[in-house]
Chain A
Amino acid sequence: MTIPVSISVNGRRYDREVEPRLLLVHFIRDVLGLTGTKVGCDTSQCGSCTILLDGVSAKACTCLAVQADGASVTTIEGLAGDSELHPLQESFWNKHGLQCGYCTPGMILASHELLRCNSDPSAEEIRHGLEGNMCRCTGYQNIVRAVRDAAETIQGGTS
C-alpha cells in the first residue's frame, strides 16, 4: 500500500506517494534529500532529528510521513533567510555551541521551540528546555551560552 501525501517543507510543497511505515525523518532525508536533519538514536531520546511540525518541535524519527500529510515542516535548511543566518545559527557559531555538529540541527530547532515558549530563558531554563537533545562533544556549556546569546539578539539587546 502507498498513500499520497502533500507536505510543505521549508515553504515548498512536495506531493509524493509513500509507504505508510515511512518515517518523517526518512521522508525528509531520503525522499527529499534534505540531509541536515539527522538520525541519531532513532528512539526519540537524542533529539538530533528535531524539526518544527506546524511550528512546534517534534522528533521526526517518531512520526510517520502520513501523519504529516498536509502539515508544514521546517528543517535546519529552512531556518535561515535568503542571505542571513537565523540568530540561533549565528549564536551557535559565535559562541562555539558545536564541535562535531551532528546534534546541532536538532539542537537549534529545539532551541527555537524553547525561545518560542520563553523568549528570555535563564541558563537553568535553557538546560531544562533542551533536555531532549543530547550533545556528546560540548558538555553543553557553550550551547547554553549560545541560546542565551540568541535570546538577547532576538530581543534586540547586546550580545
Chain B
Amino acid sequence: MFAPQFDYYRASSVAEAAALLEQHPDSKVLAGGHSLIPVLKLRLAAPSALIDIGRIDGIRGISEEAGRIVIGALTTHAEIAASATLQSGATALSEAAGMIGDPAVRNRGTIGGNVAHADPASDLPAVLRCLGAEFSIAGSSGTRTVDAADFFEGLMTTAVEEHEILTAISLPSGSSGQGSAYAKFSHPASRYAVIGAAASVTVADGVCSAASVALGGLVPAPVRAAAVEDALAGKALSAGAIADAARCVGDSLDDDEVLGDVYASAEYRSAVAHVWVGRALTAAAARCG
C-alpha cells in the first residue's frame, strides 16, 4: 500500500512545529507514525504535509514534578511499560502500554500519537481517563492544559486544535492505599481493545474510600463508569462486592453509543463489559498497598 503524496518537514522545536503547522494548511503531526502511517496507507487521510516532531528534545521521557508524573508526548509504549515510576505510581498505565500491539510496535509507537489519534479501540485513553490525566497542548500562542474529561471529545476527535501539538501528559502520583489495573478483551488478530477497562481504587480502614473506573473499546471516547464507582463507595472490596458493582456498568453506558462490528456486536459488548470491569477492579484491589 502506498500513501498519497505529501510534503515533509522536520521540526527541531515545539515552536517550530507550531509555526510549520500554521504555514501548511491540512498538515498532520508525525511522531512514531504507528497511528498515522496506517491511516495514510489506507488513504483515510491525505494531508498536504507531515510535520515530524519525532526528534524534538524535551518532550520525551518520564519525570516526577510536584506530586505528578509527567510523560513527554514522544515517550514510547515500551518506555512506559518498562518505567519503574509508572509501574508503582500508575500501574494501570504501564500495564496497558505493555499490552499494545507487540514489541516492535511498542518500540516505535508513542503515547502522544496514540491519544492524539484517539482510536476508540486504543488502550491508553481509558486508562488516562481513569487516572485523571491532564494534557499539555502547545500552540503558537502558548501552552494550555486540558483534563481527560474534556480531552477526548468523540470518535478520533480530541481537544487538540488544527495548529496545536500535544506535548505532555501528566498524572497524579499514586497515593498509599491506592492500586490500579487495566483489563482488556483483545481482538484476536489486531490486539486492539474490543473492551478495555481501567480501574483505580483506594482502600482506607478496610473499605473503598475512592474509586475510578473508565471504559474504552466499546464506546467512541472513553467514559467513566460512575454507577460502578458509586456502588463501591464504603464497601470492603470482596469478590462479591466487586462483582455486584461491576454489574452496574450498564447504567453508565448509553446504548445508542456502544460500538459493534462483525467480530463483537454492541449488544454482546454491553453484556460482557462487567466481566472486564470486574477483572480490572479485582487486580486493582490486590495492588492496594
B residues with a Cβ closer than 8 A to A are 1-8, 10, 30, 33-34, 37-38, 40-41, 50, 52, 54, 101-105, 107-108, 189-191
For the complex, what is the distance from the CA of A117 to the CA of B81, rounded to whole Å? Answer: 13
For the complex, what is the distance from the CA of A129 to the CA of B102, rounded to whole Å? Answer: 8
Chain B nearest CB from A65 CB (Å) reads 10
Q: How many A-B residue pairs have CB under 8 A?
A: 80
Flag A1-34 by CB within 8 Å of B: 1 or 0 each.
Answer: 1010000000000000001110100000000000
Residue of B nearest to A106 (CB): B104
Cβ contacts A to B, 29 pairs, < 8 Å = A1-B5, A1-B7, A1-B8, A19-B5, A20-B7, A21-B3, A21-B6, A43-B38, A43-B41, A44-B104, A50-B104, A57-B107, A58-B104, A58-B107, A58-B108, A59-B104, A59-B105, A62-B38, A63-B33, A64-B37, A67-B33, A131-B102, A131-B103, A132-B101, A132-B102, A132-B103, A132-B104, A132-B105, A133-B102
Task: State whether the Cβ of A45 lies closer than 8 Å to any Cβ in chain B.
Answer: yes
Task: State whether the Cβ of A113 lies closer than 8 Å to any Cβ in chain B.
Answer: yes
Given contacts A20-B8, A43-B41, A58-B104, 19 further A-B contacts (CB under 8 A): A42-B1, A42-B41, A43-B38, A44-B34, A47-B102, A53-B107, A57-B104, A58-B108, A59-B105, A63-B33, A63-B37, A64-B8, A64-B37, A66-B8, A67-B33, A113-B103, A129-B103, A132-B101, A133-B102
Chain B nearest CB from A23 CB (Å) reads 8
A67 touches B54 (CB 8 A): yes
A45 touches B190 (CB 8 A): yes
Per the CB 8 Å criterion, the residue count for chain A at the interface is 30
B52 touches A67 (CB 8 A): yes
Residue of A nearest to B78 (CB): A56
A20 touches B38 (CB 8 A): no
Chain B nearest CB from A35 CB (Å) reads 18
Task: State whether the Cβ of A147 lies closer than 8 Å to any Cβ in chain B.
Answer: no
Kindly name the residue among A3, A56, A64 whose own CB sees the greatest number of chain B CB atoms within 10 A: A64
B103 touches A110 (CB 8 A): yes
List, in ascending order, chain A residues with CB within 8 A of B107's CB: 53, 56-58, 113
Task: State whether the Cβ of A103 lies closer than 8 Å to any Cβ in chain B.
Answer: no
Residue of B nearest to A42 (CB): B1
Task: State whether the Cβ of A114 lies closer than 8 Å to any Cβ in chain B.
Answer: yes
Residue of B nearest to A39 (CB): B1
For the complex, what is the distance from the CA of A110 to the CA of B5, rounded to whole Å? Answer: 31
List, in ascending order, chain B residues with CB within 8 A of A20's CB: 5-8, 50
